[in-house]
Amino acid sequence: MEEAETRAIQIESWTSEATTVLSACLEQQRKLQAKVTDLESRSRRNNVRIFGLPEGVEENSVPRFIESYLTEQLQLPGKQFENPACTPLPDKRKEYTGIKKILKEKGIRFQTPYTNMRIHWESGTRTYSCAQDVYSELRRRGFQ
């Protein structure tokens, strides 16, 4: 009889320990499941869906696929995304080349942001919007 009581006490002890461990495992599983759900939701928010296209159609490069797909579907001729304002800037900057050389020889500070020229004269800083104005100012000040 004593042996049966001892075994019953052991089983009750084991049962309470198992219940505690099982509760802890279930709580941890619930937390991990919530974390996985959150991560999946966040990763879905970063994806772009195009309805009507099966998944995996883009192959290796999504940007190239989107560009070609939109060109085909919208029937766009070639590239229309060229920037026509890019070519005049370098040409206008080249106009200042001779002026820069003169100013460097004389040790005068200057800057050429975009298509303007900012010269730091002893009398103060002045900004010019075209090369002809700078040439006339250089002549007026006696530079050649």
Indicate whether this model's pTM tops 0.85: no
Closest to 112 in 3D by CA, of 93, 126, 125 = 93
Span 84-141 CATH architecture: 2-Layer Sandwich (3.30)
Boundaries of every domain in the chain: 1-47, 49-82, 84-141
- Environment class of 47 (CB within 10 Å of its CB; exposed 0-12, middle 13-18, buried 19+): exposed
Task: Give the whole-number percent of the chain exceeding pLDDT 70.
Answer: 86
Ramachandran area for residue 4 (φ above 0: left; ψ -120 to 50: alpha; else beta): alpha
56-70 pLDDT, tens digit per residue, is 777 788 788 888 888
**Segment 67-93, tens digit of pLDDT:** 888 888 887 766 655 555 555 656 677
Distance CA 132, CA 96 (A): 9
Cα distances (angstroms) measured from residue 141 to each of 100, 104, 134: 15, 15, 10
